[in-house]
A and B are shown apart, each in its own frame.
Chain A
Amino acid sequence: MTDARAAPLAGPGPLIDVHAHFYQAGSGRASWQALNASRLEAGDRIGVTWHVGSILGSWGATSPTYFQSPDDTVAGNDAMLQVVDAERRRVRAWVAVNPNDTRFALDELERCRARGAIGIKLAAARRASDRLLDPLMRYAKDQHFPVLHHAWQRRPSWVPGQDPSDALDLCDLASRHPGVAILLAHIGGGGDWSHTLAAVRDVPNVYLDLSGSGVDRGMLDQALEAVGAGRLVWGADITMETGLAKLWALDVIGVTPADQEAIRWKNAARIFPAGAFPGLAA
């Protein structure tokens, strides 16, 4: 149970986690409800105002996490939207789709948008540089949806179980679709983040999501140097303690209160559809 009297560990003020994940009954994990509850409890302790979450199909139980079947895609998104329905004051949803079946993916985006989803989550079923993503990106532009794209910082040529994109792939996508805000996922989530920083510096519609278990000293400083506070968004992904540590570190490395606000929530509020976060306006 959350100690509601305690002051938020990350300090007062709004805080949007743009990279949250939830689980569902079909995830193959008996503890799925405990995992969801733990995220919300830790979020309350930290002071997360809004979790923007996704469920990647069955998380590998009945089709691969990064190559979800249509049935698992629907089940995952439905489960995510159920979390939103149950937690309307603190959770919003990404629609996670596998872009390989374009017609199905577009229908799924529209189905979930109508139920309240606020952005598109793409993982690693197709590289971001592939033009197969273009119809989805046009949909994103039309709906003013940001795209949260899984990334392997400086990807190797081959990774088991996924076709990951790195910053170069995402910059290719961003350059083809300059009207869409693309969130490059978890710079602390594995791979060489310094390669990412060098690649995205001059691509203004690529935002860096700070999430991931990686807490290398120097990463935040250099990210600020590369793209400025206006293109950083806070998130936790699957390790919330590292998310909290990064928020504390922003203070230590001298980020101004205004820039901290931008990173904590204002940038996110700006790039999501208007009204996505009731009570918060960028």
Chain B
Amino acid sequence: MSHTTVDVSALIGAYPFRELPHPDAGTLIGVLDREEIPRAWVGHLPTAFHRDPGKGNESLYRELAPYRSRLDPAPVVRPDWPGWEEELVRAVDERAAAIRAYPAHWGFGAHHPALAALARACASMQLPILLTVRFEDSRQRHAIDVAGDLPAATVRELARAGTGARIVVIASGRATIEEVHWGLTPEERELVWYDTSWIWGPPTDDFAHLLRSIGARRFVYGTGWPLRLAQVTRANLALLPPDLRDVQLVDPMEWRNT
């Protein structure tokens, strides 16, 4: 375990609802250098809003090609779309690090069977599944951006489905994390991790509270770049109380060996 081995929640590409400065792979490399993060799992932001993720995934693979020594693709696989199994095989062929899924954007309820089917397939291929709670604060969304935050219930149901997949929840705050974690059996909790990009620090000290109550072994480093300032997780770690200052987050690269 370490602080900064992989940024699990980076993205590239444009966002439909506001201009993002330089959301490209080359800029991301510079950000990783500045933040001293060796690698990133990188998704393709426009694909989150596509009905068919295939072409967006192609763009992702193409744009990451010059940077594959540090940037691993995290393509989208939509399990209610014809041919999704082939898309998953392509992800494996492209040496994807993880699979992104957007059940809220696809209109899936908490019990949608396709999500569990995707997770089972991901588990068989040793690919973690990334679930994004939100891209933006709910108070600022465009009138046509109506998907809403990913409900904790969706994460709980997937974790309870016994698929064996590793689930990484991105951009969740304390309330969602606690609602998921304490809503699972100890065994189910072992397959769910949370990225650090949207957890509050002092004075409410949500991050410190979660590290003490749930444990650092449930957290992975994430920035949410290019939507969010990449510095937030570094700031949060730097502001931890003295007893937590040497805390070690999980290194997801170790999952590749297990």
Residues of chain A whose beta carbon lies under 8 Å from any beta carbon of chain B = 1, 3, 9, 35-36, 38-39, 41-42, 45-46, 152-154, 190-194, 213-218, 221, 238-242, 244-246, 248-249, 252
Name A240's contact: one of B203, B227, B229, B241 (CB within 8 Å). B203
Please determine whether A244 and B239 come into contact, CB atoms closer than 8 angstroms.
yes
Across the interface, do A45 and B137 meet the contact criterion of CB distance under 8 Å?
no
* B238 lies within 8 A of A244 (CB): yes
Query: When the two chains form their complex, are residues B200 and A153 in contact, meaning their CB atoms are under 8 A apart?
Result: no
CB distance from B6 to the nearest CB of A (A): 20
Shortest distance from the beta carbon of A146 to any chain B beta carbon, whole Å: 23
A46→B226 CA distance, assembly (Å): 24
Which listed residue (B34, B200, B205, B227) contacts A213, Cβ 8 A? Answer: B200
How far is B140's CA from A153's CA once the two chains are assembled, in angstroms? 8
Question: Given known contacts A190-B139, A217-B20, A218-B21, is B202 in contact with A38 (CB within 8 Å)?
Answer: yes
Q: How many A-B residue pairs have C-beta atoms within 8 angstroms? Tell me.
A: 99
Q: Using Cβ atoms and an 8 Å threshold, which residues of chain A touch B241?
A: 41
Given the interface pairs A216-B228, A217-B226, A246-B229, the reply to whether A42 lies near B18 with Cβ below 8 Å is no
**Which of B34, B203, B204, B229 contacts A215 (CB under 8 A)?**
B229
Q: A217-B229, A245-B229 are in contact. Are A191 and B205 (CB under 8 A)?
A: no
Chain B interface size, under 10 / 10 to 19 / 20 to 34 / 35 or more: 20 to 34
Q: A241-B232, A242-B235, A249-B229 are in contact. Are A218 and B19 (CB under 8 A)?
A: yes
Apart from A218-B19, A241-B202, list 8 A-B contacts with CB within 8 A. Answer: A35-B203, A45-B238, A190-B137, A216-B136, A217-B20, A217-B229, A241-B235, A245-B231
Interface residues of B in 228-244 (CB under 8 A from A): 228-229, 231-232, 234-236, 238-239, 241-242
Nearest B-chain residue to A241, judged by Cβ: B201
Report B7 CB to chain A, min CB distance, Å.
14
Q: Is the interface of A mostly helix, strand, loop or mixed?
A: helix
B241 CB to closest chain A CB, in angstroms?
8
Within 8 Å CB of B205, what residues of A? 38
- Report the minimal beta-carbon distance from B242 to chain A, rounded to whole angstroms: 7
The answer to whether A152 touches B232, judged by C-beta atoms less than 8 angstroms apart, is no
Q: Using A240-B239, A244-B235 as known contacts, say yes or no to A38 and B229 having CB atoms under 8 A apart.
A: no
Q: Give every chain A residue within 8 A of B242 (Cβ-Cβ).
A: 1, 3
Complex formed: what's the CA distance from A41 to B137 in Å? 28
Closest B-chain residue to A20, C-beta based?
A: B203
Closest residue to B22 on the A side, CB-wise?
Answer: A217
User: Which of A35, A193, A194, A218 is in CB contact (< 8 Å) with B20?
Assistant: A218
Inter-chain contacts of A252 with B (CB < 8 A) = 34, 231
Say which residue of B201, B227, B234, B239 sits within 8 Å of A216 (CB atoms): B227
Which residues of chain A are within 8 angstroms of B234 by Cβ–Cβ distance?
245, 248
B12 to chain A minimum Cβ distance, whole angstroms, is 13
Pairwise interchain contact A238-B235, C-beta atoms closer than 8 A: no
